[in-house]
Structure 1
Amino acid sequence: MSPTIKNVALAGASGNVGSRVLDALLDLKFNVTVLARSSKPFPAAASVKTVDFTSVESLSAAMAGQDAVIDTTFSPEIDTPLRLIDAAVKAGVYRFITSDFGLDPEIPGVHNMPVFGRKKVSYEAVKKQAAESRLTYTLVSNGAFLDWGLTTGFSGLNFKEKTAWIFGDGNNVVPWTTLEDVGKATANVLLHPEETLNRPVYVHSVFLSHNQLFDAAKEALGSEGWTATYNDMEPLLQKALSDLQTGNISDATFVVQIQYCLATKALAHPWERDDNSLVGLEEWSVEKVKELIKTIAQKAQ
């Protein structure tokens, strides 16, 4: 029988994912302690502890009495997640949620992409600790971030210019999840510690191909005036990997690796096991996606 989880420490609470996780935890009335590098304003309902993220001792002291720790940090270095895991073990924390929030880590090849190296290392670390009964873990797999991808240009859709940069042939169907749904799912994991024990939890707002997402944009914003470019992702991936080796690194070096995965059915596809109902998520309709696109497009004007 799993213990009841009530006290939760959250790292990375000011980030895109972390802020949504924080809101969802507070909505569910968890006792939340934010682990912060410096003093920042957070909701009054959360306690805040300033910690040294380079120190396992500092982190473990702040985790004393916590039932769960959620890592939503996203810096590229691998030391922070490993220290958080070590600190959680030292503090006797029961459940650790890693900062994964992406594709299925169980699919061969996903975590072998250099862009996911940090996720691979933390996943292997929590599995090792769980095998030795030192803590339990959960990962949240949500595919691509829907609203973030549409807002930042990651999705390849430029609403202002009416251009579409399509991954591959655009036909591969993948999970897309809003940041709000990711936050809700992550918090709800802690209400179901037994059902989410030592495994990825698979969630989505919607399953769509890139072409279907593009079609939704055309229907939402008008079909006239769009130009689309379909991209062979293999040479783009090879260039990104080569640039990584030579140190010629840009944001595209990492973004292309993720886009390649989304274009490749062997690496990204609808979940065989879906946990939406377990963690309280409802699948979106295409009409709801169109409304989101309209909202984002209006802000981009």
Structure 2
Amino acid sequence: MSHTIKNVAIAGASGNVGAQVLNVLLHLEFNVTVLSRNSKPFPAAAHVKVVDFTSMESLSAAIAGEDAVIDTTFSPEVETPLRLIDAAAKSGVYRFITSDFGLDPDLPGVHDLPVFGRKKASYEAVKRHAADNHLTYTLVACGVFLDWSLSTGFSGLDLQEKKAFIFGDGNNVVPWTTLEDVGRATANVLLHPQETLNRPVYVHSLFMSQNQILGAAKNILGGTGWGTTYNDMTPLLENALTDLKIGNISASTFEVQIQYCLATKKLAHPWAMDDNTLLGLEEWNSEKVERLIQTIAHKST
């Protein structure tokens, strides 16, 4: 049975991913309700509902009558996404898009790492509700956020200081997707409810290794003066997991787990199945990557 999705609620719409998804939803003229913890400003075309994310009753009331709910919230705790999923199932929401936006959730080992515990719990919850015919679901697998990773240094590259922290040998090719492309793909899922039914969708702006991105940076910023280190990620992962167990937690405790995956082919590699065409994305060429690097490097000066 086909469904037409028109009314959409989104949580986390002020975040890096959520803001992009919201913009595309409004451009596609969905009826959009933003679920927000407070009455912060959002685009006028969106209807804002202030909700208590700790309350099933508040969430259920807010999403009553919605065809789809998109979770773009990001935090380590699992209660909020699980409560939102349960509320959607209870309220008769047809499609739920979880806050995954990462590596292949069906690849053995990926969701076993603690950093992905929230994603794993959400995936298991929507599959359980789908098995009971309470809702349908989609996950968006996009690899690494390309522009965000280059801007923040998460990619291992410091464009300002010309420093490169390479994960392993730097040769593992993985999916990278810009936040704009993630937003477009996520919103476009709702235009294709049957083709995206109860599965992850796989998108990318490009498939490149860390060394290839470093090469693109050198083409733009010059090849001299770079300080480059190649790092065995296994002991770094072991140290991060030890720190996690003893409560010595920092941002790097979680970042290292993802960076370990990026160095490990069995955990991160180009998608076997690709949904770019279905969801309206075009693969980038090297010149476009270099222009992005140039823009980011210019902003950081």
TM-score range (shorter-chain normalised) is over 0.9
**2:40 counterpart letter in structure 1:** K
**2:189 counterpart letter in structure 1:** V
Task: Tell me how far 1:58 sits from its aligned partner.
Answer: 0.4
Give 1:286's aligned residue.
Answer: 286
- In structure 1, C-alpha distance between the alignment counterparts of 2:186 and 2:148, rounded to whole Å: 17
- In structure 1, C-alpha distance between the alignment counterparts of 2:77 and 2:251, rounded to whole Å: 15
User: Residue 248 in 1 paired to residue 248 in 2?
Assistant: yes
**2:23 counterpart letter in structure 1:** D
> After superposition, where does 1:230-269 map in structure 2 within 5 Å?
230-269=230-269
| 1:86-142 deviation digits (Å, cap 9, x = unpaired) | 110111000000000000000010000000000000000000000111100000000
| 1:58-103 deviation digits (Å, cap 9, x = unpaired) | 0010101100000000011000000000110111000000000000
Give 2:154's aligned residue.
Answer: 154
- In structure 2, C-alpha distance between the alignment counterparts of 1:30 and 1:281, rounded to whole Å: 20
- In structure 2, C-alpha distance between the alignment counterparts of 1:165 and 1:287, rounded to whole Å: 23
- In structure 2, C-alpha distance between the alignment counterparts of 1:295 and 1:2, rounded to whole Å: 43
> After superposition, where does 1:1-301 map in structure 2 within 5 Å?
1-301=1-301
Q: SS at the partner of 2:35?
A: strand
- In structure 2, C-alpha distance between the alignment counterparts of 1:3 and 1:160, rounded to whole Å: 49
Backbone CA RMSD of aligned residues: 0.5
- In structure 1, C-alpha distance between the alignment counterparts of 2:128 and 2:18, rounded to whole Å: 25
- In structure 2, C-alpha distance between the alignment counterparts of 1:268 and 1:24, rounded to whole Å: 28
- In structure 2, C-alpha distance between the alignment counterparts of 1:274 and 1:16, rounded to whole Å: 23
- In structure 2, C-alpha distance between the alignment counterparts of 1:103 and 1:178, rounded to whole Å: 14
Task: Tell me how far 1:278 sits from its aligned partner.
Answer: 0.2
- In structure 1, C-alpha distance between the alignment counterparts of 2:80 and 2:90, rounded to whole Å: 15
Q: SS at the partner of 1:77?
A: coil
**2:138 counterpart letter in structure 1:** T
- In structure 2, C-alpha distance between the alignment counterparts of 1:96 and 1:56, rounded to whole Å: 16
Q: SS at the partner of 2:112?
A: coil
**1:293 counterpart letter in structure 2:** I
Task: Tell me how far 1:220 sits from its aligned partner.
Answer: 1.2
- In structure 1, C-alpha distance between the alignment counterparts of 2:2 and 2:52, rounded to whole Å: 31
**1:146 counterpart letter in structure 2:** L
Q: TM-score, normalised by structure 2?
A: 0.99
- In structure 2, C-alpha distance between the alignment counterparts of 1:21 and 1:279, rounded to whole Å: 13
Q: SS at the partner of 1:111?
A: helix
- In structure 1, C-alpha distance between the alignment counterparts of 2:26 and 2:204, rounded to whole Å: 22
Q: SS at the partner of 1:4?
A: coil
**2:282 counterpart letter in structure 1:** E
Identity of aligned residues (%): 75
Structure 2 spans left out of the alignment, 5+ residues: none
**1:91 counterpart letter in structure 2:** S
**2:159 counterpart letter in structure 1:** F
Task: Tell me how far 1:221 sits from its aligned partner.
Answer: 1.1
- In structure 2, C-alpha distance between the alignment counterparts of 1:220 and 1:279, rounded to whole Å: 31
Structure 1 spans left out of the alignment, 5+ residues: none
- In structure 2, C-alpha distance between the alignment counterparts of 1:136 and 1:276, rounded to whole Å: 21
| 1:136-166 deviation digits (Å, cap 9, x = unpaired) | 0000000000000000010011111101000
